[in-house]
């Protein structure tokens, strides 16, 4: 499944044309070119411990752009620390806050509480019993079925770390899909359930290869769309680091070969860190360029769904040696606007 295929070649040509057009228009303050289903923001695990005041300030910043979406991290580990006892506080706040500002929500259902995984298992290990994950997913859908219709199941299982370093990760992940998909549909038949966003990687962990392994293990029929994470930092879209861009077309080719070519590919994370260059960081201006280039390229692909920029605010702008602390596209840690905030402003 390593060939780019017809869609891949067409997408590459369209991307070059669109990117050159965007570059020419930026000086004229043109509106960014974005996918037809719009763009939004993904915040990540910091949603769990962020204060309500800071959450509102981040949501306000997103609302100053044309964002139509917020991805909310529904952390099973945080919500159901004790089996059968739920604390929905931070989830309620983010979902209600996004909707109050006119944005739709994609709920990311991920992570495993200690009681549901093997003793001593790694942080992101899957549950011992997939049915436990399905039960939680159904509880989430039931609580929010009048507010949220779109759900993403797990995050980046193609990376060993994010599925607890288990063996046969594609098969294990498909087990979670097979359990949770029908559980959500039983509660919310018209929902859109998407498979986990796949990270840029090479070899067997590459998104197209991992997706193909998912199909081999029976994933067909257990998702309504696929998710990808086209991070192209630090060198940008044209350089295609780790095949981060061209793997999108390859993944869609896999879907087409398996009869799912009519399903969309959502981009549930994209962006670039403004950390030091030694930590794979880029300037604020280059961060904006890479975000706009990816959004414009996706707009040229008929199969691209919504796109989510990761993230709104830096975790720790002063810690420039850590790329993970510097992904904020709109704000520094102390809520100062970054360059992309001006580019995306209404």
Are 305 and 71 a contacting pair, CB within 8 Å? no
| pLDDT per position as a tens digit, 250-304 | 999 999 999 999 999 999 999 999 999 999 999 999 999 999 999 999 999 999 9
pLDDT at 27 over 80: no
Report the pLDDT value the prediction gives residue 23, as an integer from 0 to 100: 41
- How many other CB atoms sit within 10 Å of the CB of residue 172? 17
CA distance 181 to 160: 23
* Tokens encoding 77: 């580990």
- Which pLDDT band, with edges at 50, 70 and 90, does 16 fall under? very low
Reported confidence tier of residue 31, pLDDT bands at 50, 70, 90: confident
Read off the pLDDT of residues 38-58 as tens digits, 9 standing for 90 and up: 999 999 999 999 999 999 999
Least-confidence region, from 22-31, 72-81, 180-189, 263-272: 22-31
Tell me the chain's radius of gyration from C-alpha atoms: 19
Task: Report whether 31 contacts 21 (CB < 8 A).
Answer: no
Q: Is the pLDDT of residue 77 over 50?
A: yes
Task: Name the pLDDT band for 29 (thresholds 50, 70, 90).
Answer: low
Mean pLDDT, the chain, integer: 93
Residue 17 has pLDDT above 50, yes or no: no
CA angle 210, 213, 219 (to 5 degrees): 105
pLDDT at 15 over 70: no
Residue 7 has pLDDT above 70, yes or no: no
Phi, psi of 2 (to 5 degrees): -90, -15
Q: Which residue has the higher pLDDT, 3 or 211?
A: 211
The predicted structure's pLDDT at residue 205: 96
Domains present along the chain, CATH in parentheses: 5-23+33-344 (3.20.20.80)
Buried b (16+ CB within 10 A) or exposed e, 219-257: beebbbbbbbbbbbbbebbeebbbbbbbbbbbbbbbbbe
pLDDT, tens digit, 9 for 90 and up, residues 92-127: 999 999 999 999 999 999 999 999 999 999 999 999
């Amino acid at each position: 499944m390593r060939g780019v295929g017809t869609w891949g070649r067409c997408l590459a040509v369209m991307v070059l044309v669109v990117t050159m057009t965007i570059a020419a228009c930026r000086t004229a303050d043109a509106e960014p070119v974005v996918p037809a289903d719009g763009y939004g923001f993904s915040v990540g695990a910091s949603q769990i411990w962020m204060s309500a005041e800071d959450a509102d300030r981040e949501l306000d910043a997103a609302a100053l752009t044309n964002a139509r979406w917020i991805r909310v991290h529904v952390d099973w580990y945080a919500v159901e620390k004790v089996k059968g006892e739920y604390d929905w506080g931070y989830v309620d706040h983010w979902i209600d806050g996004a909707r109050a500002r006119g944005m739709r929500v994609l709920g990311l259902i991920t992570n495993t509480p200690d009681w549901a995984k093997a003793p001593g298992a790694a942080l992101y290990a899957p549950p011992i019993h997939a049915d436990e994950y399905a039960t939680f997913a159904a509880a989430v859908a039931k609580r929010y079925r009048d507010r949220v219709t779109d759900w993403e199941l797990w995050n980046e299982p193609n990376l060993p770390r994010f599925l607890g370093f288990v063996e046969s990760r594609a098969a294990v992940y498909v087990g979670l899909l097979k359990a949770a998909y029908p559980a959500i549909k039983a509660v919310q038949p018209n929902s859109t359930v998407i498979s986990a966003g796949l990270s840029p990687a090479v070899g067997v962990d590459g998104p197209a290869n991992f997706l193909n392994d998912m199909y081999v293990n029976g994933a067909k029929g257990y998702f309504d769309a696929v998710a990808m994470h086209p991070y192209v930092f630090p060198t940008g879209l044209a350089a295609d680091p780790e095949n981060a861009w061209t793997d999108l077309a390859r993944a869609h080719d896999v879907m087409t070969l398996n009869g799912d070519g009519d399903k969309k590919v959502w981009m549930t994370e994209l962006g670039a860190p403004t950390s030091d260059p030694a930590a794979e960081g880029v300037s604020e201006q280059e961060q904006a360029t890479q975000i706009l280039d990816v959004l414009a390229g996706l707009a040229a692909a008929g199969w691209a769904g919504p796109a989510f920029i990761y993230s709104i605010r830096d975790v720790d702008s002063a810690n420039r040696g850590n790329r993970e602390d510097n992904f904020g596209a709109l704000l520094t840690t102390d809520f100062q606007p970054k360059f992309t905030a001006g580019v995306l402003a209404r």
